[in-house]
Amino acid sequence: MAVLVVGGGLAGSEAAWQLARLGIEVVLIDMKPNKFSLAHKEPFFAELVCSNSFRSEDLTSGVGLLKWEMRQLESLVLEAADKTKVPAGKALAVDRTLFSKYITKQLETSPLIQIKTYELKSLDDPFLQEFDSVILAVGPLPSEELAKELKVLSGGELYFYDAIAPIVSADSIDFSKVFWASRYNPEEKDYLNIPLTKEQYFAFIEELKNAKKVQPKEFEKELHFEGCLPIEEMVERGDLTLAFGPLKPVGLIDPNTGKQPFAVVQLRPENREKTAFNLVGFQTKLTYPEQKRVFRMLPGLEQAEFLRLGSIHRNTFVNAPRVLNHDLSLKQKPFIYLAGQITGVEGYVESAACGLLVGLIVGYKMKNQMFPFPPPETAFGALLKHLQTEQKRFQPSNIHFGLFPAIKKKLRKKERKKAYALRAQQYFNEWLNRYFI
């Protein structure tokens, strides 16, 4: 019997792919292209609605380590990212259109994956009864009807606000006022950099403070994910917050002056042709007119053409430790498994990893085999443990070494990260060789 996967985002695409790899038939449903969420625009699967970056490739970072583990398990998302990447220094960034098209083609051409356009509005939908197992990978923006049911299951609504950054056309940038460089390595030309003097920086900060913002609805308490704060939210924490955050100049030398600027705005290519650039760290809830006015204050962007303006939307997630079993199935409906951001993981890589893991869990179940859960010392295991551990106030989380079992030996920060990574790789290889090879 086939497994139903609901949602063609990163988690759903990855789950469907892993099931097919195990020889399991899959029915993948998505409401696109008949209907789009507030954040989605394209008809393809695995659409990237925020940044085009999958973050650091460094193995001594949690996300770099998680990607390494995903590649060992033949992740479709990482395969697509590697084949469609664009220059981004030490980060993995992709041409978002080529990336989504690649995944769509792989899913559409798989003989074991049947794709249907269908919007699931209820967990009691009779359509679900046709399947022994259902993977719910509806992302952070499920339909209003489905969100209400998840709210009941969670004992109250859980959400946070997510903001996305603007994209500008390369043709509208004044290249005489910017320079190409990567942080710490001027020979690499992966980022376009806007240098700011002290006066320019504080003038920009002042306008950010006074600019009009999109207001949440009266009944909604505004909660932001700490790792994706709107730029104006950071400014409220202090005038120098941006200078020590996304606008930090460290490692960048302006070739026109031979000096390090007071602050630097980095622009990352959105595609291989470098015809569009994302304003790195410029997630925003400013109104559209204010975005154009304030961001055009930046040198080189005076005549900027915005291909996409920043926006803010609400993300929904469940209280995973309370409502999910150890295998990420719903306690009240054990044949339904949750995957991706809806579970309480945060980030592209983490969502895809969660989908990959759930795909394997359900695949093993369909084969009447017990799935060997990864040890907590691995990135997969640490991320899963986050979803299983009761907290006073459960919140979404990126992968980071704080989720791993502590290394008790006293080490310097850099050595400690390396120790976490080496331990994780050792445990992961032992797990992989024992159960999968």
Q: Which residues are annotated as a binding site for FAD?
A: 7-12
Cβ-contact 388, 320 below 8 angstroms: yes
What is the residue whose two structure tokens read 């903001």? 163
User: Distance (Å, rounded) from C-alpha 256 to C-alpha 261?
Assistant: 10
Comparing C-alpha atoms, which of 265, 257, 285, 143 is closest to residue 204? 265
Binding-site residues sit at 7-12
Distances in Å between the Cα of 168 and the Cα atoms of 2, 276, 292, 305, 323 are 44, 6, 10, 6, 42
User: Distance (Å, rounded) from C-alpha 319 to C-alpha 337?
Assistant: 14
Q: Distance between alpha carbon 314 and the CA centroid of its chain, in Å?
A: 14
* Residue 326: other Cβ atoms inside 10 A: 10
